[in-house]
Amino acid sequence: MLDERFPYFIRKARKEDWDDAMAVAWKTFLKFEADVYTKEGVRSFYDFITDSFLYRMFLNGAYHMFIAEDEGKIIGIITLRNDTHISLLFVDEDYHRQGVGSSLMKTLWVFVKTELGKEMVTVNSSPYGREFYHQLGFFDLGPEEARDGILYTPMKRVLNEC
């Protein structure tokens, strides 16, 4: 869907988008998040985005992904697992603070409500993304945690007002 306020296009990802989408996630992670993680955390993140099981889940429709693209270039991604959990949200550095992340999120919310029939979404927010999620109406489910070197705050948002 094309948002008239912005020059980019958001759509459901296709098989051929996977490598470029994960490259956006990795590049953005390294730039904005890796410095607060241990070496184990950076490795855990890399292992996650390069996992062949995750890719197979995507191919089988069990791991949903939407991408934002500008003139054919992927500039942002959002992914969903277990029908309600946002597992990746990354926007290319050149497109930060231009509404790409919010637009991806709103597209996902519509999908979750209308296609999956769910009323809420969860996310394990990185320290970098915490304030962004709060601005979009997410609330913390508990304090910051760490698993496999990855820092995150578990969050939730009810979709009844979307």
Amino acid residing at 138: F
> What structural domains and CATH numbers belong to the chain?
9-117 (3.40.630.30)
Residues 8-25: tens digit of each pLDDT: 889 999 999 999 999 999
Nearest CA-CA partner of 108 in 71, 60, 148, 162: 162
Distance CA 49, CA 88 (A): 9
The predicted-structure confidence for 76-127, as pLDDT tens digits, reads as follows: 999 999 999 999 999 999 999 888 999 999 999 999 999 999 999 999 999 9
Instruction: Work out the percent of the chain whose per-residue pLDDT is above 70.
Output: 95
115 DSSP assignment: I
pLDDT at 4 exceeding the cut of 70:
no
